[in-house]
A = this chain, B = another copy of it.
């Protein structure tokens, strides 16, 4: 939500000599992406985003992220496309940080996506999963069962200060998911964090997907479960079954879900809800006074978790 590392016109000009992008016409820090510093760069050749990776993104993971964006763009997904320098490299350093230049994407993130936008998202999520096929670099999901157990341990002392009984509720859910979590679903590249602020629209249609810094290999249907959590609840906590149906059916029409994926959907949705409950809880109990980023309410995801615990099957999400 800010620019953490300052880049001046001279440092920019020196950096850009590695590229063939022409004269700089505009350069502005933008408020996009919680994790990194982002600048909108316009040159005589076009518009780009310059990203400086701040310390929250592990430097060892950057070749995976850059390679993935290359692969997804090559396979037709509208995502930031890394610009390679004259030496062929896309990833280099600027102002002491790892940095990349990527293509600019048109579109606006919706605050409250409508049904048509949910359907468009479903199609694009399936396209993302299809475009990810054949990408050879592996990256484990650090925020699956083991990661949740670690976060639960790290937040246990503070959980009940947020809501009495929260620590026990988390432990119970972790125990249940340990028994129920499916290990045999179709795997592939997932986005892992496909919230509305990571999707651009022009009108009702997705124009681009950004922020792949939680992307990893995992069950493809888990990505759909993340989206059902992030896109299909109203601000008052109500589950919007019309949006869920539009999202899930559009996904299923483009990439038909296997019977095991359909059966697992309620459990996957529970896991996705627990994942965001835990990461938000971690940020909440570790707030820095005066920090620039206000943490999000973890209890929003307790409400969502409770809903999924009561789901009867894929039908809850609009799939027959």
Contact B29 A30 (CB under 8 A): yes
Stretch at the interface among A101-109, A238-246, A257-265: A101-109
- A126 in contact (CB, < 8 A): no
Contact among B31, B106, B203, B291 with A290 in the assembled complex (CB-CB below 8 Å): B291
Q: In the complex this chain forms, how many copies of it are found?
A: 2
- A136 in contact (CB, < 8 A): no
Smallest CB gap from A44: residue in B:
B202
Stretch at the interface among A18-26, A151-159, A216-224, A278-286: A18-26
- A54 in contact (CB, < 8 A): no
Chain B residues in 8 Å Cβ range of A26: 106-108, 200
Chain B residues in 8 Å Cβ range of A9: 108-111
Contact A32 B32 (CB under 8 A): no
Given contacts A30-B30, A290-B289, contact A202 B25 (CB under 8 A): yes
Residues A5-43 near B (CB distance < 8 A) = 8-10, 12, 23-32, 40, 42
Contact B24 A108 (CB under 8 A): yes
Given contacts A112-B10, A291-B290, contact A28 B25 (CB under 8 A): no
Smallest CB gap from A107: residue in B:
B26
- Which residue among A23, A108, A289 has the maximum number of chain B CB atoms within 10 Å of its CB? A108
- A292 in contact (CB, < 8 A): yes
Chain B residues in 8 Å Cβ range of A110: 9-10
CB pairs A–B below 8 angstroms (12 shown): A2-B292, A3-B31, A10-B110, A10-B111, A10-B112, A12-B108, A24-B108, A29-B32, A30-B30, A30-B40, A31-B31, A289-B290
Contacts A8-B111, A25-B106, A26-B200 given; 4 further ones with Cβ under 8 A? A2-B292, A10-B110, A23-B202, A28-B32
